[in-house]
Structure 1
Amino acid sequence: MVNTLVDIEKASMILKLLGDKTRLTMVKLLEMNDCCVCEFVEIFKMSQPSISQHLRKLKDAEIVKETRRGQWIIYSLNRDSEYYLFIIELLSHLPDQEFKIKQLEQQGLRISCE
């Protein structure tokens, strides 16, 4: 991995955003999976407006991006972000969260909006 320097102000803003457990977990989940709001609602047991607010903050910081699939919006990690390598490095120090996606699949709730 190429070592790229991140502006201290932007790094501070990213770290502050990811200092929230829900947003940090969302980003870790998006490292390996694309997800829609309805999946996050089920994973975090939070309201759709709360989940959307977290995602908006991550999108505004260009940490995540959204893609429209029909009437649904699917979120993914923004691999085009100039801070992608910084974020991936941070995520590499966190435990895998894939079990949360597997639980959704077992409950028949994976991509429940389709």
Structure 2
Amino acid sequence: MLSTILLSPSGTLVFQCGIMGILTTGRVLTTGKEDFSVDYETIFKALGEGTRIKIVKLLSIKPMYVCELESVLEMSQPRISQHLRILKQAGLLNMKKEGQRAVYSLNEDVFEAWITGFTSFLRQPLETLPEYQPEVNRIAAIANDPTIAICKNA
């Protein structure tokens, strides 16, 4: 249900759906109106650890309390909480407080926007991305570079 995909000068892909809300860089923010700003570097760093991938998979099945994640993953509460904090800061998780306890779930809207947007980004021609102009120029130059020809024929 994306209505707009923009690429900022810093390389952040911005997804806008529905009514304009708060857009931010460096993290994913939902405003209740399905507006997202996705910083791929932050998301890939958040997902770049095996335990966090396991947590995402577990939360794709059902929302879970921290104590449930502790038991399933056989990890201490501080370690689980550290991983949850990183995933939440990236906007990938929702947290609902129930008294002293917290229930975590996947932010499925963000995952959907992230996957859709990243796929769109990969399909976008390099020449249409101003911040990739130096790379476009270097790609054109390698066709006539003798050291590249030697490398390819070695």
TM-score band, normalised by shorter chain: 0.5 to 0.7
Distance 1:66 1:87 in 2: 21
- Corresponding position of 1:50: 79
Structure 1 runs not aligned, ≥5 long:
91-114
Provide the aligned length of Structure 1 versus Structure 2. Answer: 89
Q: Secondary structure at the match of 1:58?
A: helix
Instruction: From 68, 89, 104, give the equivalent of 2:97.
Output: 68
- Corresponding position of 1:110: none
Alignment of 1:1-114 (within 5 A): 7=12, 10-81=39-110, 83-86=111-114
Q: Secondary structure at the match of 1:75?
A: strand
Partner AA of 1:85 in structure 2: A
TM-score by length of 1: 0.63
TM-score by length of 2: 0.48
Q: Quote how far apart the aligned CAs of 1:57 are.
A: 0.7
- Corresponding position of 2:134: none
Change (3 A) 1:14 1:5: farther
Q: Secondary structure at the match of 1:74?
A: strand
Find the structure with the greater CA-based Rg: 2
